[in-house]
Amino acid sequence: FAGPSEIMVVCDRDDIPVEYLVRDMLSQAEHDPDAVAVLVTTSAKQAKDVSKRLKKLVPTLPRREIIEASFANRSAIIVAEDLEEIFEVINELAPEHLEVLTKQPFEDLHRIRNAGAIFLGPNSPEPVGDYFAGPNHTLPTSGSAKFSSPLGVQDFVKTSSVISYSPERLVRQGEKIIRFAEEEQLFAHAEAIKVRLKNQQAAKKP
């Protein structure tokens, strides 16, 4: 959680400027040598164009050594078969930051199960979220978006579970609870229910 920065940019459009894709990958690669920058595109030509532009541009950048280490260690350009494969990659890698530059980003949103922060459309690059849009900046990394969410107020709130059964409800559900307990061979659990059911039955007798 909140480890080295990550970005995944996904694209199935030929009209997205190569410079958008390049600059968005660099926006995270410049963080540190362990940062992750991944482009997933359905276009082999687009992948090649991005790669060429990066090779030309990176040596001119102030943080080039950090960026070069990031690209050498933990970054990639992936050519996907189709949009379906793009979403398989997203949900498997569960990126911290995800930019969705698809033809219908809002319609595609429901297909994304695992990502920390999702940026929809060509006018929502990741720095918008860093500096101005206001989403939580402490995000799950290293695939932890598969099982966790951005840090929120709830993470700092201590709660307790409160359970109170009425006699009628215990009668309705008691046998099911006993069955679960006995299936696990936790017979004392079962007896804690049985004794109450017996007590209630006895109380009903004239």
In whole angstroms, what is the distance from residue 27 CA to residue 124 CA? 13
- The whole-angstrom separation of Cα 116 and Cα 129 is 12
- The total of other beta-carbon atoms located within 10 Å of residue 195's CB is 10
Q: How far apart (Å, rounded) are the C-alpha atoms in residues 83 and 86?
A: 5
Cβ contact 122:14 at 8 Å:
no
Would you tell me how many other CB atoms lie within 10 Å of the CB of residue 126?
22
35 residue type, one letter? A
Nearest to 14 by CA among 58, 49, 38: 49
CB 195 within 8 A of CB 170: no
Return the biggest CA–CA distance within the chain.
93
Q: Active-site residues: which are they?
A: 96-97
Name 65's Cβ contacts closer than 8 Å, sequence gap at least 6: none
